[in-house]
Amino acid sequence: MYKILYKILRKFLSPDRRKQLEIISLLGYAYRCKNEEVKPLIIYSLDGKLFTNGLVDRLRGIVNSYAYAKANNLEFRIEHKLPFPLKEFLSPNSCDWVLNPSEKSYNLRYASPVCMLDNPNETGESLLKLSKERQYHFYTNTGNFIRFINNNKGTSYTIASLYNELFTPSQKLKNEIDKQNEILGDNYISISFRFMQLMGDLVDIHGETLSDADQEKLTKACIAQIERIKEQHPLVDKILVTSDSQKFINSVSNIPYVYVIPGEIGHIGHMGGDIFMKTFLDFYMIAGAKKVYLGVGSKMYKSNFSHFAAQIQERPFELIEF
């Protein structure tokens, strides 16, 4: 019904109303007159229909959505189906976020989607309009809710406190983390480099590919930053280097004090297979570093991956632009 209604009315609606109706029709919501038992919930929805970004976009959206649920005494669930079930890598800690499929309703009398994706100006103020009696399905990668909720509710939530209430590594992931900890110990720092498609060896959302000469020039500039950081931290045993470019990893892996986590590199929104474990391992090992750096050279991407990893364990973080 809503697909037909959308086609008829879309020319006469405001852009916001048109977008909401489009989302409702896309996700399969319908209005039903019959009464149903629908539990008021906040469900973070990642069902593959609206949102397929990277790991930190997902985790940031989850943690911020949980902040809203917690502040309003609402139960919280996570629906993470694609491209992998989240509980394969992360288990519930003190919050039981596992969704029973029967809990989710598509009845518009009781449930609504809340879509706030890729909007850096989203403050969280729109959340004040939500009823505590309805079920809401959040589609968001925002990082702004926690600050807004703390300011308006008098709470003192942090990314670390919320993340660790939600998650502990699954046994499968913990086994791999333990293996890496045996190698690295705890006296290491990390630096990350996000090239996107600059090095020509990664399929990503967008981005140009540099010439061979410019790739070599950028690689040397990044290695110079690694060397400079080692000079600043002469007592650390290792520098964990993470990157989205296998070419770059190959160029630094023979530096004696550099450690790279083995495994296939890729973007979880565009690839599958073993990259999921490698991505989670990179994330958790960065979180365990004594200090976390992000190196950003010319045309490189200022990724949130390493910063968010630092935040979940409250590690010091520094951005290096060169």
How much is the pLDDT for 286? Answer: 98
- Residues 122-126: what's their mean pLDDT? 85
Is the pLDDT at 258 greater than 60? The verdict is yes
Locate the DSSP E strands across the chain. 41-46, 75-80, 90-92, 111-116, 135-140, 167-169, 188-193, 238-243, 258-259, 292-296, 317-321
| Residue 203 CB burial class (10 angstroms; 0-12, 13-18, ≥19) | exposed
Is the pLDDT at 12 greater than 90? The verdict is no
Task: With H, G, I as helix, E, B as strand and everything else as coil, classify residue 90.
Answer: strand
How much is the pLDDT for 219? Answer: 98
pLDDT grade for 124, boundaries at 50, 70 and 90: confident
Provide the 10 A C-beta neighbour count for residue 273: 11
Distances (CA, A) of 51 to 29, 120, 151, 192: 17, 16, 28, 25
How far is residue 208's CA from residue 262's CA, in Å, rounded to a whole number?
26
How much is the pLDDT for 132? Answer: 94
- Residues 306-319: what's their mean pLDDT? 98
Phi and psi torsions of 255, nearest 5°: -70, 125
How much is the pLDDT for 8? Answer: 63
With the CA atoms of 264, 267, 268 and 271 taken in that order, what torsion angle do they form, in degrees rounded to the nearest 10? -70
Is the pLDDT at 52 greater than 70? The verdict is no
For residue 294, which amino acid is it?
Answer: L
pLDDT tens-digit map of 76-96: 999 998 788 999 999 999 999
pLDDT grade for 3, boundaries at 50, 70 and 90: low
Side-chain half-sphere of 94: how many Cα atoms within 13 Å? Answer: 7
pLDDT tens-digit map of 227-256: 999 999 999 999 999 999 999 999 999 999
| Residue 230 CA to its chain's centroid (Å) | 29
Q: Per mean pLDDT, which range of 118-122, 123-127, 185-189, 277-281 is the poorest?
A: 118-122
